[in-house]
Chains A and B, each alone.
Chain A
Amino acid sequence: MVPLMVLLMALAVAPRSVRAIGKSSKVHLAHLTLIGGKAPRAKGLVALSGEIRSRTNISMYRGMQRVTAASPVLLRMPLLVTTANGALPRLSGAEVVRLRRHLARGGTWILDGPVNAGGAALFWASASRLAGQLYPKHKLAPLPPAHTLFKSFYLLRPSWFRRQSLPIRAVVRDGRATLIVVQGLSAAGSGTVAGRSREWLFRLTVNLVMYALCVDYKSDQVHAPTILRRRHWRVP
């Protein structure tokens, strides 16, 4: 703990960045709209970007970047977020091709559903169908508690999300979660969710972005002793 405090004090004299080297060096929560779908809570994503910027060292893009699967900039936005109030539309053939290519090259796609029970049921059914369109041989599955996503920045307890009926499921390809399905992120950003839940959803958002950027960095051996000690030598 003491070295960390020393480090933090040392960091106190550091100048803050005022300018990006280019738009590509910023991290975007690119808001992906599907054909026939809506993109609610866009402002929630802007708020989430602000939260990530204030909590971490990531250079987040300040505005909103909307994309579709046909956008020329799709392959300059490795992190996509699609928000929904209910069922997601079926992917067109062209969307499947372009999104598969995006994910295969290293992209990450987060599907963010609503928190209300009725909408959530429709959302999860459509998300499973959509995952099947992208990956016919793979299914959405819960991530194991020891997955890097739960320790990429904050130490999160997956059990808390289960208890709040906010499951986290993903398709893992080549050791990396490429399609991640969650609920309530943009809702927390737009203020629909309040209190302790909101904070936990913010932390999940930070971890998701950190995971997209660092993948298994926090699974490196050098981090293991610290993480285990802080978790009291228990797997969450």
Chain B
Amino acid sequence: MNTEWELLWRPPFGSVGLVASLVGALLILGLGYLSTAGRPVWVRGAIVTARLVAVSLVLLLLWRPTWRVADVTRGRDRMAVLLDESASMGLPGKGAGRSRMADARRSLAGADGAERGWLRRYAVDYFAYGNGLRRSSRHVLQKTREPKGAGTRLLAALEALRGRYRGRQLAGVVVVSDGRDTGQLQAGLTPELVGRVKGLDVPVNVVPMRAPSLRDVAVVRVIPDDLAFVRNVARVRAELRVSGAGDQAVEVTLRSGGKVLQRRLTTGTKEHREVIFELVPERVGTLVGEVTATPLPGEATTANNTRRFVLKVVRDRVRVLQIAGRPSWDVRFLRQHLKRDPNVDLVSFFILRTHLDITYAMPGEMSLIEFPVRQLFSTHLSSFDLVVMQDFERYPAEVGIYLDNIARYVRGGGALAVLGGEHTLSRGGFVGTRFAEVLPVKLLSPGPPSTLLSEDLFKPRWTSLAEHHPITRAGGLPALSTERLRTLPALEGFNRVARAHRDAVVLAVHPTQRGPDGRPAPVLAVREVERGRVLTLLTDSGWLWRFAAAGGASAYDAFWQRAVRYLLGDPEFDRLRVVTGHHPYPADQPFGITITASDPKYLPQKSVLIAYRVVRTDRTPETEVTTGSGTTGESGELAVSLTLPPGTFRVEAKGLLEGRSVQARGELVTEGRAAELARVDPDAGLLMAVAAATGGRVLDPDGLARARVHAPRVVRLDNLRSEPLVGNVWLLWGLIALALGVEWLLRRRYSLA
């Protein structure tokens, strides 16, 4: 038990009375001083001093100072000392030839004295932190020689620490670090994060490790294109930080599969430099590459000179045949979309006139050519990967005799997109043909136009299947979702059909109109027919999604990019998929990937047994690292946790879908200390900001004893009493009268009264 004293001031009317009495006192003193003008200095000094004494005593009377005396027993609260064990602490520190960690160890050694002081009142816990928080001891921390942590997440560590002491008093924290952060504080203590730091409700004292100016070149980030198309130029942007090297040129190399693809020389005096590489992927799949900056002489570290990346390469160059029954806006906008795609070899044929059109010109005065029906639908059909038919009918172009060829083309693995219009589908003369048999919809028998067409404005209703189908589901690239599709402008008019085929996946339906079967009328449907795939969009106003949509063309382009990729059987849209990110994962730490399985309608498929193995691919020969198996859950996903060393890996998965063995694979990269060492200079500013935000102090390495901490909490109060500072008020009045009397005498003596 201790007796604790506290002096309390109790002016009348609280702080208002305090201020008013102070102002009054200053006024009285000022007037006293002014009234002695022209007199010798010692006389002025003596008179003002006498008044000062009198005024001070009056204030003592007014403010009634009181000692509060308490006999208390305080608990032994906790203090925490956190040592940064990330790789950057292995870089040169302030001491000659010493690392920052060596400086930190000396600081901890000097904590003996401080700890003896703390130990009287607190229990001190020691932790190491980097990417996470680890309980340790001073003894163990002082033995740390080579810090290896691949990241520094101070905020996460502090929040984890706070979580550990939930319900217990944490009096203070001391952080020993170089301040270089790779977590949320990477960009400094932003206003959004200040609240979280303050919310820790504990003073964080910091001991910044300093360092001299270092010479270093680091590859800070490598940003490849989101997607690359095979045999087309893709870009890889590398950001470098060059410190202490002046205008020295730095050579940067792009490698993939052990081969040097390109070298670039970056010059200039700027610390931040950028290099852009262009490469042409040769295969569909995943390209794993690395960017390396050639080390400078005397670099602080070379562990940050290489960064890896993963580039997803999709789709080979495809031949697309676009045929249209007539020129229209729908035709025009889809043609422009396909023409913009560097991987599409587009052949278009539009019927610009019919026999009933009177051109008033000789054939030689026009640019029209014969519609090459036979060549397209007989000789060359199989050379196309995708056929797009827009508002196309059977008769005018004599397609009828080749309809069987189109059906055969689809069943053999071809892709077909049939778009609506006033002359096609149920009005196109296809009813009863083999062509109609491969469509995702059943056509209506010929009848009056009003029964086959609708002119109303409508926004399609996206079905629950659309949430999962690769054309319309959220996630993946290019970005699209049913939510985004719902924001698009209304379509105008659609082709009526009898119903969707039983094997079809209906992605969108009309919001109000129903088919003869009573079900909502389909607007967008897809279907797998033997080895081929077919899509029908039962309107010719899809172009409005591009021309009239707020926010530009992104949704229209994304829709068609995805639709084409789906129709062409892109591996990204397979039903068994290994989903990996294309940013590096942290090495030697657990991280998660997902293997997904879906049914033919792309709904999640649960209880699928999946076996997987992870193969290291950056060494020859490739080596198997780990294997495992599991079953998919309700969401059709199997979550796989991996801990891998730095390198490049391939995850191979195998599962049984509808009795058929299906395989999938995904590539990934793990990275060690390169991200942690992207910046080599310490960041004392960040630590100071954290200390300032939490009410902590910035300490010298040998000044840990100065740490600011909360007082230990009171666990027992035995006695509490108040004792006035001035026990005898009459004595005070007497002293006031004496001081005023002295002033009066002086004034009389020097003719000031």
CA distance A1 to B369 in the complex (A): 9
CA distance A56 to B360 in the complex (A): 11
Please name 19 pairs of A and B residues whose Cβ atoms are closer than 8 Å in the assembled complex, sorted by A: A11-B354, A14-B354, A14-B356, A16-B354, A17-B423, A21-B541, A22-B454, A22-B539, A22-B541, A25-B493, A55-B359, A59-B326, A107-B547, A154-B361, A154-B365, A154-B367, A155-B366, A213-B328, A217-B350
Whether A210 is near chain B, meaning CB under 8 Å from some CB there, is yes
- The 8 Å CB contact of A106, one of B348, B395, B456, B546, is B546
CA distance A41 to B328 in the complex (A): 25
Asked if B368 and A4 sit within 8 Å, CB to CB, the answer is yes
Whether A58 is near chain B, meaning CB under 8 Å from some CB there, is yes
- Where the two chains meet, the residues of A that have a C-beta atom closer than 8 Å to any C-beta of B are 1, 3-4, 6-25, 27, 54-59, 75-76, 78, 105-107, 151-155, 199, 202-203, 210, 212-218, 220, 222-223, 226-227, 230
Asked if A217 and B335 sit within 8 Å, CB to CB, the answer is yes
Residue of B nearest to A18 (CB): B449
Residues of B within 8 A of A151 (CB): 367
B394 to chain A, nearest CB (A): 10
Asked if A199 and B366 sit within 8 Å, CB to CB, the answer is no
- The 8 Å CB contact of B369, one of A22, A154, A223, is A223
Asked if A214 and B327 sit within 8 Å, CB to CB, the answer is yes
- The 8 Å CB contact of A105, one of B420, B494, B495, B546, is B546
Asked if A21 and B546 sit within 8 Å, CB to CB, the answer is no
Asked if A210 and B355 sit within 8 Å, CB to CB, the answer is no
Residues of A within 8 A of B332 (CB): 78, 106, 212-215
Residues of B within 8 A of A4 (CB): 363, 368-370
Whether B422 is near chain A, meaning CB under 8 Å from some CB there, is yes
- Where the two chains meet, the residues of B that have a C-beta atom closer than 8 Å to any C-beta of A are 325-333, 335-336, 339, 347-361, 363-371, 393, 395-398, 420-423, 449-450, 453-457, 489, 491-495, 539-541, 543-544, 546-548, 552-553
A9, A14, A220: most-surrounded residue (chain B CB, <10 A): A14
B360, B494, B552: most-surrounded residue (chain A CB, <10 A): B360
CA distance A66 to B457 in the complex (A): 20
Asked if A155 and B365 sit within 8 Å, CB to CB, the answer is yes
A156 to chain B, nearest CB (A): 9
A188 to chain B, nearest CB (A): 13
CA distance A198 to B396 in the complex (A): 31
Asked if B370 and A21 sit within 8 Å, CB to CB, the answer is no
If A106-B333, A217-B335 touch, does A56 touch B353 (CB 8 Å cutoff)?
A: yes
A91 to chain B, nearest CB (A): 21
B397 to chain A, nearest CB (A): 8
CA distance A131 to B122 in the complex (A): 78
A145 to chain B, nearest CB (A): 14
Asked if A7 and B371 sit within 8 Å, CB to CB, the answer is yes
Asked if B540 and A153 sit within 8 Å, CB to CB, the answer is no
Asked if A25 and B421 sit within 8 Å, CB to CB, the answer is yes
If A21-B453, A25-B328 touch, does A12 touch B421 (CB 8 Å cutoff)?
A: no
- The 8 Å CB contact of B358, one of A19, A55, A155, is A55
CA distance A129 to B492 in the complex (A): 37
Asked if A19 and B328 sit within 8 Å, CB to CB, the answer is no
A6, A10, A24, A78: most-surrounded residue (chain B CB, <10 A): A24
Asked if A105 and B355 sit within 8 Å, CB to CB, the answer is no
Residues of A within 8 A of B366 (CB): 153-155, 230
If A13-B395, A25-B330, A106-B336 touch, does A199 touch B360 (CB 8 Å cutoff)?
A: yes
